[in-house]
């Protein structure tokens, strides 16, 4: 009897081992109607997630992508957080993916991203609903409102913030810029004023951001858990605010949140409460974090490149000299005359690569350059691999705004430049981001000198961050010590 039990146990164990081996083999060798791109899907379920999230302390392409580009070429397969993904550093495939959205591809992000941003977030919506929401958002971020309202508001915010920072011996620039932009955009979006609110809404978004691009383990103490708690708390504030406004039938429209509430009060509303809340959450996040990161890196790059800073300062001082009132606010004509500034902004966002990957999903089997992208697989367009490709940009890690001289103005994503996305989902906040960066630069270089106190190191995991901050001391130009004036902030 005992021998029979041993044989049975051995047989069951052997069957389980063989089943696992077969499952693991099928994982690493998925069926496809054609030739899959080269690459590895890594370990079952885990894939190559750990390698993808490994930190990279440079502006260069992440080691995860770079090693695979060298081994497999510009198109390769991998698996991230349990999903099979084709990674593209090929400009032609990237452009094709953007142009075929709604036909061969649709917007998609891994399940962990969907949990973070909400099931009804704008990135997960398609067709009519996405176009409808985009039209609403353009009322706020479109050029007409930028020219009429937002330019003056951003100029005022930059002027006041810089004056305040100059009164302190040191300011952590990333956090300070984030606060400035969040307060500005939150006021426009939801009439939020931190001095008058009992809710520290930005604190929740900071917690959210810390774990936004982290390994997806929802256990207390992890960055991902902190991220999810930040989202939960921020959504609680927004939901309470929405229901209070919905109950106030006589409320006059004051901000973008009121626009969404008016849409919901229609006889046959197009959007649900969940869609409206997720849209507000995404707008609050996207409005300040990406621009703050780009501006912080921009100031660091200016400090390291005095020749660029000098040319930039000359352009802005000429704008001031040409005004009747030198203390007047920026005009739209001033902004549109900032030719070199525009080049600096493009070069900054090219090097910043705030978004490490833009995700889409194949709606059917797709053949491209001899490879098959199976239906249902994700595609990760990799902007850094294009922006830092020496075949496209000479000396790609150099901060060289003059490389954009005499280039056609970029109003949408191209094969060589996709810092703001491309296709139907080209970022609706692009113009606002450029205005914010230009007005901040104008006030900074015409009124202040600065020196680095500490920090400034960057880490990508894979998103950009300043783990030890970037601390600077600002001086009004007429009061700056000679050591600062002489170094032109080149410390």
Please enumerate, by residue number, every residue annotated as part of a binding site for heme: 427
Closest by alpha carbon to 36, among 346, 384, 370, 317? 370
Residues near 255 by Cβ (< 8 Å), separated by ≥ 6?
187, 188, 189, 190, 191
How are strands ordered across the β-sheet holding 83-88? 75-80, 83-88, 378-381, 358-362, 105-107
CA distances to 99, 121, 422 from 107, in Å: 12, 11, 12
With 0-12 / 13-18 / 19 or more C-beta atoms within 10 angstroms meaning exposed / middle / buried, residue 284 is buried
**Which residues does residue 381 pair with via DSSP β-bridges, in sequence order?**
88, 358
Q: Distance between CA 162 and CA 280 in Å, rounded?
A: 28
**Which residues does residue 75 pair with via DSSP β-bridges, in sequence order?**
88
C-alpha count within 13 angstroms, C-beta hemisphere, residue 395: 6
Residue 462 Ramachandran class (φ > 0 left, ψ -120 to 50 alpha, else beta): alpha
Which two structure tokens, joined as six digits, stand for 84?
């099979």
């Amino acid at each position: 009897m005992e021998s029979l039990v041993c044989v049975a146990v051995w047989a069951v164990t052997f069957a389980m081992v063989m089943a696992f081996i077969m499952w693991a083999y099928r994982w690493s060798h998925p069926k496809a109607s054609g030739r899959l791109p080269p690459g590895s899907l890594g370990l079952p379920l885990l894939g190559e997630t750990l390698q993808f999230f490994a930190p990279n302390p440079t502006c260069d392409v992440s080691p995860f992508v770079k090693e695979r580009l060298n081994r497999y070429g510009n198109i390769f397969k991998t698996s991230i957080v349990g999903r099979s993904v084709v990674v593209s550093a090929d400009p032609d495939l990237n452009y094709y993916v953007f142009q075929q959205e709604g036909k061969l591809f649709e917007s998609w992000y891994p399940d962990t991203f969907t949990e973070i941003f909400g099931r009804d977030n704008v990135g997960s919506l398609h067709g009519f609903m996405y176009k409808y929401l985009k039209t609403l958002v353009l009322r706020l971020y479109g050029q007409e409102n930028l020219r009429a309202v937002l330019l003056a508001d951003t100029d005022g915010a930059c002027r006041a913030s810089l004056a305040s920072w100059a009164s302190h011996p040191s300011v952590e620039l990333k956090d300070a810029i984030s606060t400035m932009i969040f307060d500005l955009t939150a006021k426009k979006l939801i009439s939020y004023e931190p001095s008058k609110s009992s809710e520290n809404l930005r604190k929740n978004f900071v917690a959210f951001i810390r774990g936004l691009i982290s390994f997806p383990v929802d256990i207390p103490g992890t960055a991902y858990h902190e991220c999810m708690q930040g989202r939960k708390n921020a959504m609680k504030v927004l939901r309470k605010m929405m229901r209070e406004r919905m109950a106030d039938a006589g409320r006059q429209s004051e901000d973008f949140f009121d626009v969404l509430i008016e849409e919901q009060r229609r006889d046959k509303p197009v959007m649900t409460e969940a869609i409206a809340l997720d849209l507000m959450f995404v707008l609050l996040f996207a409005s300040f974090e990406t621009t703050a990161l780009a501006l912080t890196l921009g100031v660091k790059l200016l400090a390291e490149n005095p020749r660029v800073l000098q040319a930039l300062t000359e352009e802005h001082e000429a704008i001031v000299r040409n005004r009747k009132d030198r203390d007047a606010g920026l005009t739209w004509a001033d902004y549109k005359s900032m030719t070199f500034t525009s080049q600096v902004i493009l070069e900054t966002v090219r090097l910043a690569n705030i978004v490490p990957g833009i995700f889409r999903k194949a709606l059917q089997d797709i053949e491209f350059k001899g490879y098959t992208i199976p239906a249902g697989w994700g595609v990760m367009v990799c902007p850094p691999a294009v922006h830092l490709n020496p075949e496209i940009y000479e000396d790609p890690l150099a901060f060289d705004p003059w490389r954009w001289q005499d280039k056609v103005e970029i109003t949408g994503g191209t094969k060589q430049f996709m810092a703001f996305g491309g296709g139907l989902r080209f970022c609706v906040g692009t113009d606002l981001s450029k205005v914010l960066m230009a007005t901040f630069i104008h006030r900074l270089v015409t009124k202040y000198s600065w020196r680095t106190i500490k920090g400034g190191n960057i880490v990508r995991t894979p998103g950009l961050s300043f783990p030890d901050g970037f601390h600077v001391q600002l001086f009004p130009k007429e009061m700056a010590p000679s050591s600062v004036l002489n170094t032109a902030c080149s410390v």
